[in-house]
Amino acid sequence: MRRTFQTLSVFALWILVGFTVLQLVPYGRAHSNPQPIAEPAWDSPRTRELAVRACYDCHSNHTQWPWYAHVAPMSWTVQFDVDTGRSVLNFSEWDRAYIRAPYAGRRTADGNMPPSKYLLTHPEARLTDEERAELARGLDATLNPANLAAR
């Protein structure tokens, strides 16, 4: 019994040490929200509203950094998602072109965006089927007129 307790204590101690060491890694702390530059010409306020809810945490400069973004290893995934998300599509820096922007509607319609792992911790970003279709249509109208015409 005592032996088991000792083994467990040592084990817990090592977990704690390991966890503490993870906190020393400098990556994952750059929680910036740079000054927004320009937004796309949204087809309607409703499209923007839905995009803010479902996309802005990773594709804008209005990221709401959650508390666990301060704790490694979660901080690493959050930082990676925001950095990568912003680099492919940043609705707050619409002074430049994004090659993948025309696919925003399709990625929304097919359920690829927002990523499912994000929805686990952000139930407020979940879209009903109706909202999803609405946002996809709005994104198409805003970012991909050619695609809209083809439908």
Decide: is 91 part of the binding site for ligand HEC (CB under 6 A): no
To ligand HEC, the closest distance from the beta carbon of 104 in angstroms equals: 4
Q: Is residue 93 within 8 Å of 36, Cβ to Cβ?
A: yes
What residues numbered 51-70 form the site for ligand HEC, per CB under 6 A? 54-55, 57-59
- Whichever of 9 and 145 has its CB closer to ligand HEC, that residue is 145
Q: Is residue 61 within 8 Å of 35, Cβ to Cβ?
A: yes
To ligand HEC, the closest distance from the beta carbon of 7 in angstroms equals: 39
Number of residues this chain uses to bind ligand HEC (CB under 6 A): 21
Q: Please, what is the end-to-end C-alpha distance for the chain in angstroms? A: 70
* Pairwise CA distance, residues 143 & 49, whole Å: 16
What residues numbered 112-131 form the site for ligand HEC, per CB under 6 A? 113-115, 118
Residue 36 neighbours by CB under 8 Å, 6+ apart? 60, 61, 62, 92, 93
Which residue is associated with the tokens 């973004």?
69
- Whichever of 46 and 100 has its CB closer to ligand HEC, that residue is 100
Q: Which stretches of the chain bind ligand HEC, using CB under 6 A? A: 54-55, 57-59, 81, 84-85, 88-89, 100, 103-104, 107-108, 113-115, 118, 135, 139
